[in-house]
């Protein structure tokens, strides 16, 4: 075999994202961010949102309110531990809770694919009723549309919500402060893996269930216990994405201890099998909180006494300001940076 020159070979043409929306634009990663900042925000101009928190805070007659909206397109509709109905109620209730609001009422819009069975619809509505009762909210207004077969994938639900924020509460992604302690309310990655297990192709058997739950009562308990600066429910994009967003909004350096992150063993196993990083897997019944250092222990104690905070844990802290960065201290004692994913996480063979 004659010797040949390995140098000088270069890469083929780059792929440039073009004029079409791809699935990655909905994953909550940098592509989603890109769509927001390059298309929606400039397009809306002065009509664009003023803040990028889970809910928007409005002032009316000296009283603060929160308002938010969310669309739910989960597939399959029914997954271990929940369904699209429960998700629709809890998702919006939680977005309101993340700015410290007490949720008052929701609106709900259904887009139904022709041919969907009444049984399915009734099941979904029952879940919504149970979740709404748990959260202490009601549905004030609704809408229903039916589209031709293929128009949507069985059922899409949009919920909007409004809540009231008590005086003196000021919780936002921009309020993380050096010295803050970072808490999570329980195990990470349960929802995303539970939904994945029900999907064809990548499916696997597990007793793992989604954690979908309303967190407004937990939040009120936490607010009573101490000073909260930031709350976020790490849904699409997972814990990592939420932390990166907060680091950017507040311009702080965050350090997380991998050893301290609570995971169910089945979630870890699924991630190992598929090559996923559990930090990026969606949660629907968990929150991450940045709290005043001196109040952290008390808040943690009170969280652990509640239904949805039993496995709450301290996972890290804000170690500096002036630079936006998320650092992970790995289980072997190394350090690595955490960033947003470009788009959808893909199962690896490598």
Partner 1 sequence: MCLGIPGKIIEIYQKDFLRMAKIDFGGIFKEVCLAYTPEASVGDYALIHVGFAISLMEAEEARETLKLIKEVAEFENEIP
Partner 2 sequence: MKYLDEYRDPAKVKSLLDKIQSIITRHWVIMEICGGQTHAFLQHGLDAMLPSQVELVHGPGCPVCVTPLEQIDRAISIASRPDVIFTSYGDMLRVPGSTKNLFGVRAQGGEVRVVYSPLEAVQIAEANPAKQIVFFAIGFETTAPANAMAVLQARKKNIKNFSVLVSHVRVPPAMEAIFRAKANRVQAFLAAGHVCAIMGFHEYPPLAEKYHVPVVVTGFEPVDLLNGLLAAVKQLESGRAVAENQYQRAVRFEGNESAQRAIRTVFQSVDRKWRGIGIIPQSGWGLRPEFAEFDAEKRFDLHKILSEESPLCIAGEILQGLKKPLQCAAFGKECTPQMPLGAPMVSAEGACAAYHTYHRDVVYERV
Kindly tell me which residue out of 114, 143, 272, 339 binds partner 1, with binding defined by CB under 8 A. Answer: 272
How far, rounded to the nearest angstrom, does the alpha carbon of residue 133 sit from its chain's CA centroid? 22
Kindly tell me which residue out of 149, 265, 307, 322 binds partner 2, with binding defined by CB under 8 A. Answer: 265
Please identify, using beta-carbon distances, which residue of 78 and 263 lies nearer to partner 1.
263
Euclidean distance between CA atoms 311 and 186, whole angstroms = 4
Please identify, using beta-carbon distances, which residue of 196 and 287 lies nearer to partner 1.
196
Element containing residue 58 per DSSP (H, E)? strand 56-60
Under rule CB under 8 A, residue 348 binds partner 2: yes
Please identify, using beta-carbon distances, which residue of 34 and 258 lies nearer to partner 1.
258
Residues 182-241, interacting with partner 1 (CB under 8 A): 197, 204-208
Check: CB of residue 116 under 8 Å from CB of residue 157: no
Under rule CB under 8 A, residue 13 binds partner 1: no
Kindly tell me which residue out of 154, 217, 229, 264 binds partner 1, with binding defined by CB under 8 A. Answer: 264
Kindly tell me which residue out of 21, 39, 58, 141 binds partner 2, with binding defined by CB under 8 A. Answer: 21
CB-based contacts of 320: which residues, under 8 Å, 6+ apart? 178, 252, 253
Under rule CB under 8 A, residue 16 binds partner 1: no
Euclidean distance between CA atoms 11 and 44, whole angstroms = 38
Check: CB of residue 321 under 8 Å from CB of residue 251: yes
Residue found by looking up tokens 């921009």 in the block: 174
Under rule CB under 8 A, residue 150 binds partner 2: no
Under rule CB under 8 A, residue 311 binds partner 1: no
Give the residue from 31, 84, 7, 53 showing the smallest Cα distance to 248: 53
Footprint on this chain of partner 1 (rule: CB under 8 A): 197, 204-208, 264-266, 268-270, 272-273, 275, 348-350
């Amino acid at each position: 075999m004659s010797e040949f020159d390995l140098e000088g070979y270069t890469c083929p043409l780059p792929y440039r994202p073009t004029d079409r929306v791809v699935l990655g634009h909905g994953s909550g990663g940098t592509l989603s961010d890109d769509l927001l900042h390059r298309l929606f925000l400039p397009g809306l101009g002065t009509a664009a949102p003023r803040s990028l928190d889970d809910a928007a805070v409005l002032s009316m007659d000296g009283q603060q309110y929160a308002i938010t909206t969310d669309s739910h397109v989960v597939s399959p509709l029914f997954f271990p531990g929940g369904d699209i109905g429960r998700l629709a109620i809890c998702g919006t209730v939680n977005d309101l809770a993340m700015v410290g609001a007490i949720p008052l009422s929701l609106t709900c819009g259904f887009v139904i694919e022709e041919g969907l069975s009444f049984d399915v619809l009734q099941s979904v509505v029952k879940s919504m009723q149970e979740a709404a009762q748990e959260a202490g909210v009601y549905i004030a207004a609704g809408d229903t549309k039916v589209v031709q077969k293929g128009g949507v994938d069985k059922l899409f639900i949009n919920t909007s919500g409004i809540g009231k924020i008590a005086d003196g509460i000021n919780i936002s992604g921009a309020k993380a402060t050096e010295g803050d302690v970072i808490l999570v309310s329980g195990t990470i990655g349960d929802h995303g893996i539970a939904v994945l297990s029900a999907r064809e192709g990548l499916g696997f058997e597990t007793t793992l269930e989604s954690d979908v739950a309303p967190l407004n009562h937990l939040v009120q308990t936490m607010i009573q216990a101490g000073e909260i600066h930031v709350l976020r429910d790490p849904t699409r994009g997972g814990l990592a994405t939420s932390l990166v967003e907060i680091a950017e909004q507040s311009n702080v350096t965050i350090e997380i201890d991998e050893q301290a992150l609570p995971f169910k063993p089945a979630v870890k196993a699924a991630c190992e099998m598929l090559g996923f990083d559990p930090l990026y897997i969606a949660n629907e019944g968990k929150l991450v909180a940045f709290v005043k250092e001196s109040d952290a222990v008390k808040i943690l104690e009170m969280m652990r006494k509640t239904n949805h905070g039993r496995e709450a844990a301290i996972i890290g802290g804000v170690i500096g300001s002036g630079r936006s960065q998320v650092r992970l201290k790995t289980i072997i004692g190394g350090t690595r940076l955490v960033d947003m994913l470009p788009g959808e996480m893909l199962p690896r063979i490598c």
